[in-house]
Amino acid sequence: METSMKYTGFTLIELMVAVAIVAILTFVALPSYQNYVLKSHRTAAINALQDLASRQASYYTTNNTYATSLTALGYPADPAPVPSTGNSYYSLSLAQANASAFTLQAQPVGNQLSDICGTFTYNNLGVKGNTGATGTVQDCWGY
């Protein structure tokens, strides 16, 4: 009496091919994902700078001078973390401020230091910039 035994499952070669495919996909996808995360954090910095500029304009309207500290504009700290809760990716500050002009900056911290945009700047004339970076102003500010 003959019995036929049928084995099911994966061979070692099939398993190694699957592992190699996963490794290649990870190698390709991970840098793209990391760049996407860095880029999404830039939005928080840009929004924070625009909010701060708006607060400076309101302060100037009331006091006929620009504020020289973030606490005068309603921020709890000077410099202020961006975002204000959770992990911060930027440090928001007044790089230069006097009665008639100001320059705001959002300096990267932590993992955001590896971003190509560096420190974002914005002044009372509406001039946008980024320093210490390899990315262009157009690419970093999204226009």
DSSP conformation letters of 4-62: -----S--HHHHHHHHHHHHHHHHHHHHHHHHHHHHHHHHHHHHHHHHHHHHHHHHHHH
Asked, for residue 4, whether it belongs to a domain, the answer is no
How far is 39 from 111, CA to CA, in rounded Å?
12
User: What values do phi and psi take at 129, rounded to 5?
Assistant: -155, 175
Asked, for residue 56, whether it belongs to a domain, the answer is yes
Asked, for residue 6, whether it belongs to a domain, the answer is no
Provide the mean pLDDT of the chain.
89
pLDDT in tens, 12-23: 899 999 999 999
The token duo for 140 is 């970093």
The CA-CA-CA angle for residues 121, 67, 115, to 5°, reads 20
pLDDT band at 91 (very low <50, low <70, confident <90, very high): very high
Asked, for residue 137, whether it belongs to a domain, the answer is yes
The token duo for 136 is 């262009």
Closest CA to 39 of 96, 98, 115: 115
Mean pLDDT along residues 16-32: 90
Mean pLDDT along residues 108-137: 91
pTM: 0.77
Q: What percent of the chain clears pLDDT 70, i.e. is strictly above it?
A: 96
Residue 1 has pLDDT above 70, yes or no: no
pLDDT band at 78 (very low <50, low <70, confident <90, very high): confident
Asked, for residue 21, whether it belongs to a domain, the answer is yes
The token duo for 57 is 């304009």
Total domains present in the chain:
1
Mean pLDDT along residues 120-136: 90
Asked, for residue 1, whether it belongs to a domain, the answer is no
Asked, for residue 71, whether it belongs to a domain, the answer is yes
pLDDT at 26: 87
Range of the domain at 78: 12-141
How far is 83 from 49, CA to CA, in rounded Å?
11
pLDDT at 143: 66
